[in-house]
Amino acid sequence: MDIERGEFVTFLGPSGSGKTTTLTMIAGFEDVTSGQILLDGRDLSNLRPWKRNIGMVFQNYALFPHLTVADNVAFPLRMRGWPKPERRQRVGEMLDLVGLHMFAERYPRELSGGQQQRVALARGLVFSPDVVLLDEPLGALDKNLREQMQIEIKRIHREVGITTIYVTHDQTEAMTMSDRIAVFSNGRVEQIAAPLDIYHTPATRHVAGFVGETNLMLGRVTEKEGCLQVAELGLIKVPPHRNRHEAVTEYDVIVRPEHMKVVRGSEACDLNTFEMTVETVINYGDRLTLVGSKGGLPIRVRLNSLDNLPLEGEVLVFGWCPKDTHLIPRQPAGDRSQDRSPLRTVAGALY
Amino acid sequence: MTQSVANGTASLERGANPTIKQKQQAFPLVLLAPCVVFLLVMFVAPLIYVIVLSVTEPRISAENYERIFASPVYLRVLWNTFQTALTVTLVSLTLGYPLAYVIARRSDWLGTCLLAIVVISFWTGFVVRTYAWLIILGNRGPVSNIFHWLGWEPPQLLFTSFSSTVGMVHILLPFMVLALLSVMKKIDALHLRAANSLGAPPFTAFRTVFLPLSLAGVVNGSILVFTFALGFYITPILLGSPRDLMISQLINQQIEEVLNWGFASALSIVLLSATLVTIIVGNKLFGLDRLWG
């Protein structure tokens, strides 16, 4: 994995997937089990954490309770032997950046969660580290504040331009903030790509399931060109697959719920259609999700228009455009080696 | 325990009957009553009696207090008491801090073993532990044996202020360690990690983060040990030198040998006041536990 200077990369994955462990390794608190971590081409493994010049922001902020906001932010500068006047000026700049200059003399416990988070951010950035690591920094905040802080962090990143690695299990956070997302699962990086690529062309079933809602089916290769056999839906038309392997006989077929639509009368596009009973209607106010199942396969359909509101129990014809189908080749049994991409182990994460 | 159970039952019945609410408000007071009565009879009343004695025996005057502060003999006892208490506190802190640090930071066998030693020592009667020092430091004890073995004449160990201080440190060290531990356990290891990641090597992180955060424990433990040491009686009388009297020994002497109750009462009040002043000043100066405890 290579991360460019100034890039904002998110490690996304469920808890226990190894994203925090990787972060801890980059910070130097955990030994790298295999592989290397390079920073500007120099190996970090023999550098102790305090020599690495990497800023870290912890989930519970880890602000020093006995120091004021200004002293907390000044701490890394003090450790680097900055003279006092310069220290004060730099701390002032950082507090301006995070909008907390009027709180400089307060103690952390006198601040709200969001303010504490911003102090932690200022403290992690003040010494212009080569990289800043953010470990689920918004995990402890409520939803509104979290969205506000996402914008805030993104703005600060834009202004400061420090390479940022952000760990989260929240896909919305990852989507809205990152230049690229690395999706972790079981200690492996499943895919690293721009947010929209992750969403539209997930590399594995895991990624597809973890990022956004998804309809996942199993398609078998048939005689008929450009078609796959799905047990529950029958023959479906699929777009020509770029890297088709002769050996691959099965594909994971992925259709996002927003690409599914209700088919009323004739449609321009040559759709894959099926008939399904609507079991549940989930109303989000601005959109609807219809949940049903076809032959045991659960299917979710997102409707952005609230006209012709479908009713629960109604039987409707649904369909989607073949071009909106995303295919992931399934590795033939016995050929699992290919499953292990160059990004195979967490420890192999290259910086 | 009893109170919470009782409260639990009371709250279950809430709303069933309007009079229950009134009963419920009265209930904690009823539960407090035995304790309050006990303290009044066994503590407050005797204390008032002692205060009265100190200014009425042998006649109504402040002469007992004047005698304490006018005589160099008694001032020396007071000074000696404070000095010993201070030494005991500083030695306990010096020994206890690293011990508590290891116990707090290591959750493996080492921390558990050390904690077990501290707690077992804490539970062992202090008279027993004091007698143990009589043997260890005695004429045929292991310490003088080592001196003999090295071909040196053993110094006088027992019945000196040294042996008395050692004994008191031994008895009060667990209090210091437990007081330190209660604060150190609450210091999040993440703070040290944060300090490391911000450029502080381990010792600097300890000095700039752990030490200031543990100060509350240092103050609490020191006040605890100091006030205990001020009033210590058994250990100095068994191990100490008769020439280095501590105030509690003097009080005992005045009652048992001289039968001067008025003077003994005045000494007790001086000791009590000194203890109270220590606690109040300590709390005023370093009421740290309230700041971030």
Q: Does B124 map to a domain?
A: yes
Tell me: do A30 and A100 sit in the same domain: yes
Tell me: do B156 and B179 sit in the same domain: yes
Residue spans of alpha helices (H) in B109-260: 109-123, 126-137, 142-149, 161-184, 189-197, 202-205, 211-230, 234-239, 247-256
Q: Is the pLDDT of residue A33 over 90?
A: no
Q: Is the pLDDT of residue A272 over 70?
A: yes
User: A48 contacts in B (CB within 8 Å)?
Assistant: 196, 201
Q: Does B61 map to a domain?
A: yes
Most A CBs within 10 Å: which of B186, B192, B198, B209, as the mutation test of the A interface?
A: B198
Q: Does B235 map to a domain?
A: yes
ipTM of the complex: 0.76
The pLDDT of residue B194 is: 92
Tell me: do A42 and A80 sit in the same domain: yes
The pLDDT of residue A67 is: 93
What is the rounded average pLDDT for all residues in chain A?
83
Tell me: do A168 and A218 sit in the same domain: no
Tell me: do A141 and A185 sit in the same domain: yes
Tell me: do B175 and B134 sit in the same domain: yes
Q: Does A270 map to a domain?
A: yes
Tell me: do B76 and B198 sit in the same domain: yes
Other C-beta atoms closer than 10 Å to the C-beta of A274 total 21
User: A129 contacts in B (CB within 8 Å)?
Assistant: none
Q: Does A238 map to a domain?
A: yes
Residue A30: which pLDDT band, with cuts at 50, 70 and 90?
confident
| Residue type, position B255, single letter | I
Beta-strand (E) ranges in A116-260? 131-135, 163-168, 180-185, 188-193, 215-221, 227-230, 234-237, 250-255
Tell me: do B85 and B195 sit in the same domain: yes
CATH number, domain with residue A83: 3.40.50.300
The pLDDT of residue B11 is: 44
Q: Does B50 map to a domain?
A: no
Asked if B209 and B282 count as a contact pair (C-beta separation under 8 A), the reply is no
Most confidently predicted of A33-42, A212-221, B248-257: B248-257
Cα–Cα separations (whole angstroms), residue B219 to B27, B181, B189, B211, B282: 37, 12, 21, 12, 7
Q: Does B14 map to a domain?
A: yes
Other C-beta atoms closer than 10 Å to the C-beta of B189 total 11
Question: Which member of A29, A79, A127 has the closest CB to residue B193?
Answer: A29
Tell me: do B140 and B88 sit in the same domain: yes
**Number of domains composing chain B:** 2
Cα–Cα distance, B99 to B107 (Å, whole number): 13
CB of A85 within 8 Å of a chain B CB? The answer is: no
Q: Is the pLDDT of residue A135 over 70?
A: yes
Tell me whether residues A29 and B194 touch, CB distance under 8 A. Answer: no
Residue A317: which pLDDT band, with cuts at 50, 70 and 90?
confident
Q: Which domain holds residue B162?
A: 57-291
Q: Is the pLDDT of residue A351 over 50?
A: no
Mean of the pLDDT values across residues A163-189?
89
Residue A4: which pLDDT band, with cuts at 50, 70 and 90?
confident
Tell me: do B207 and B152 sit in the same domain: yes
Tell me: do B89 and B133 sit in the same domain: yes
Tell me: do A309 and A270 sit in the same domain: yes
Phi then psi for residue A128, to 5 deg, are 45, 60
CATH number, domain with residue B68: 1.10.3720.10
The pLDDT of residue A214 is: 86
Which range is least confidently modeled, A52-61, A289-298, B250-259, B269-278? Answer: A289-298
Tens digits of residue pLDDT in B43-102 = 999 999 999 999 998 888 888 899 988 989 898 999 999 999 999 999 999 999 999 999
The pLDDT of residue A347 is: 30
Q: Does B31 map to a domain?
A: yes
Cα–Cα distance, B199 to A127 (Å, whole number): 10
Angle value at C-alpha A101, between A99 and A103, nearest 5 degrees: 105
Q: Does B51 map to a domain?
A: no
Which candidate, B161, B199, B273, B212, places its Cα nearest to that of A27?
Answer: B199
Mean of the pLDDT values across residues A130-137?
90
Closest Cα in chain A to B212: A66
The pLDDT of residue A338 is: 40
**Number of domains composing chain A:** 2
* pTM greater than the 0.90 cutoff: no
Which candidate, B94, B267, B242, B114, places its Cα nearest to that of B176?
Answer: B94
Q: Which residues of B109-145 are buried (b: 16+ CB within 10 A; e: fewer)?
A: eeeeebbeebeeeeeeebeeebeebeebbeeebebbe
Q: Is the pLDDT of residue A108 over 80?
A: yes
Who's near B169: CB < 8 A, 6+ residues apart?
A: B88, B91, B92, B95
Tell me: do B214 and B121 sit in the same domain: yes
Beta-strand (E) ranges in A13-106? 38-39, 42-43, 54-57
Cα–Cα distance, A153 to A165 (Å, whole number): 12
CATH number, domain with residue A261: 2.40.50.140
The pLDDT of residue A133 is: 93
Cα–Cα distance, A32 to A44 (Å, whole number): 10
Residue A284: which pLDDT band, with cuts at 50, 70 and 90?
confident
Tell me: do A89 and A234 sit in the same domain: no
Phi then psi for residue B168, to 5 deg, are -70, -40
Question: Which member of B193, B204, B213 has the closest CB to residue A79?
Answer: B204
Tell me whether residues A49 and B197 touch, CB distance under 8 A. Answer: yes
Which candidate, B97, B199, B60, B257, places its Cα nearest to that of A55?
Answer: B199
Who's near B158: CB < 8 A, 6+ residues apart?
A: B134, B137, B138, B139, B239
Residue B178 structure tokens: 């437990």
Residues of chain B predicted below pLDDT 70: 1-23, 287-293
Tell me: do B27 and B132 sit in the same domain: no
Phi then psi for residue B140, to 5 deg, are -110, 20
Q: Which of residues 19-58 of A touch B (CB under 8 A)?
A: 27-29, 48-50, 52-56, 58
The pLDDT of residue A207 is: 87
Q: Does B193 map to a domain?
A: yes
Residue A194 has what DSSP assignment?
-
The pLDDT of residue A322 is: 84
User: B191 contacts in A (CB within 8 Å)?
Assistant: 62, 64
CB of A110 within 8 Å of a chain B CB? The answer is: no
Tell me: do A115 and A235 sit in the same domain: no
Say which residue, A122 or A40, is predicted with more confidence.
Answer: A122
Q: Which domain holds residue A257?
A: 213-329
Cα–Cα distance, B130 to B95 (Å, whole number): 19
Tell me: do A8 and A95 sit in the same domain: yes
